[in-house]
Amino acid sequence: MSQGLQPGKLATAPNALDAFWMPFTANKAFKAHPRLLARAEGMYYWTDRGDRILDGTAGLWCVNAGHGRAEITAAIREQAGVMDFAPVFQLGHPLAFAAASKLALMFPETLDHVFFCNSGSEAVDTALKIALAYQRAIGQGTRTRLIGRERGYHGVGFGGISVGGIVNNRRVFGSLAGVDHLRHTQLPANAFSIGQPPHGADLADDLERLVALHGAETIAAVIVEPLAGSTGVLVPPVGYLERLREIATRHGILLIFDEVITAFGRLGSATAADHFGVIPDLIACAKGLTNATVPMGAVVAADFVHRALVDEGPAGIELFHGYTYSAHPLACAAAIATLDLYVRDALFERAAALAPTFAAAAHALKGRRHVIDVRSLGLVAGIELASRDGAPGARAMTLFHRAFDTGLLVRVTGDIVALSPPLIATPGQIDEIFGRIGEILDDLD
């Protein structure tokens, strides 16, 4: 029987860690040896014991402007005092429209309409539903198949895990019918490429193969990360995205970019679409949209998609989809302040200027113990390690723990160490990040 909480007191237990079921975590192992973050500012976290941790991952690919930005905090605090919540079903509030307009102006000029949600996972599922609704609206109701890519990560909704290509994410849950996958783009011939690798543009022709297999009239959309992050930093080969765009257009298939990681300066531009010069029909974004201060995601849609569903649709509700917290007032306030901060401090331009220094530091690890590949673009890098016999992922996890315990936060996925520091990083901090990793590698079994 629950005893409830006494007024003014927190519930405690012999192990106060028990109640929280942690996501994407080996819970038993963590709770046996917990590592806790207590506060953050600028480029650093501090643990509950007061140890300073250099943030090499922008939190979780998301704190692009650095921690504790006063402008964003003030905007959230002020809005909380004015209006804490407002429904946006058949109603609206000014910040929702202001945030949407500001975001649309920052994104490619052909993408003009913003649908707000609360996370990258929700943004992906929203984009997939918009694509299906669009095809039906233009009289292409047979187009219900969705195409993802092997080793793709598109969040944890059922749509996202279905088009995603990370097996463990759907092994227990299954996936939706009517989904197929392109091959991933990592090729041995491209090992240690700096920037976009030279080989593999022809892998986009997999979409032609799937068209031949299923029929173009059955395929609604193809979704890819322009640069795949969570699967270990897979940089698109030269010409790959351009080829995918051409094939999708020719067959009437919508192209969706999952830019949950790449949007808001990670590659030195507002979007990866801008960086690569390839404009999709829908962009899913989140993370850096509010500098991770308040959960928020969005889908930014091309005008022709919105026109088919809204302007040319029947009277009444045009899209039966949405969330209680879509365009939450606090999230909108945070987004507006964050987008203004990116522009005021020229953080995207800063990231572009730092990219060569970042790439040089990353590729300096070539030849270090256990390193079998290095991949980088903009301010994101993947350091791939040889796996221990019979224990894939264990070597990188050991590095993760040793890095944290000596003052550096990295991210690992399998045996790949992923780096994505805040865009405010200095050259000295970049050198420190990779120097510390090199030292750990030298002593790593």
> DSSP assignment, residue 119?
S
pLDDT, residue 99, reads 98
Residue range 270-309, pLDDT digits in tens: 999 999 999 999 999 999 999 999 999 999 999 999 999 9
Residue-wise pLDDT tens digits, 198-222: 999 999 999 999 999 999 999 999 9
Question: Within 10 Å of residue 129's Cβ, how many Cβ atoms?
Answer: 16
> Is the pLDDT confidence value at 1 over 70?
no
Q: Is the pLDDT of residue 171 over 60?
A: yes
Range of lowest pLDDT (157-171, 193-207, 418-432): 157-171
Average pLDDT over residues 17-25: 94
Q: What is the per-residue pLDDT across 78-130, written as a single tens digit (0 to 9) for each? A: 999 999 999 999 999 999 999 999 999 999 999 999 999 999 999 999 999 99
**Dihedral sign (CA 160, 166, 172, 177):** positive
- CATH number of the domain at 27-69+346-442, please? 3.90.1150.10
Distance of CA 198 to the CA centre of its chain: 24
pLDDT band at residue 4 using 50, 70 and 90 as cut-offs: low
Reference 393, options 375, 420, 413; nearest CA is 413
Angle at 127 between CA 182 and CA 419, to 5 degrees: 65
Radius of gyration of the chain (CA): 22
Q: Token pair 């590949």 is at which residue? A: 373
pLDDT for 16 equals 85
User: Nearest Cα to 422, choosing from 3, 103, 62, 98?
Assistant: 62
Q: Are 257 and 280 in contact, with CB atoms under 8 Å apart? A: yes
- Position 11 pLDDT exceeds 50: no
Query: Model-level pTM?
Result: 0.95
pLDDT digits (tens, 9 = 90+) for 35-94: 999 999 999 999 999 999 999 999 999 999 999 999 999 999 999 999 999 999 999 999
In Å, what is the CA distance from 372 to each residue of 120, 365, 414?
A: 31, 10, 14
Domain spans in the chain, listed from the N-terminal domain onward: 27-69+346-442, 72-344
CATH number for the region 72-344 comes to 3.40.640.10
Alpha-carbon gap, residue 116 to 286, rounded angstroms = 9
For residue 134, pLDDT over 50 is answered with yes
On average, the pLDDT of the chain sits at 95
> Is residue 49 packed enough to be buried (19+ CB in 10 Å), middle (13-18) or exposed (0-12)?
exposed
Distance in Å from the first CA to the final CA of the chain: 49
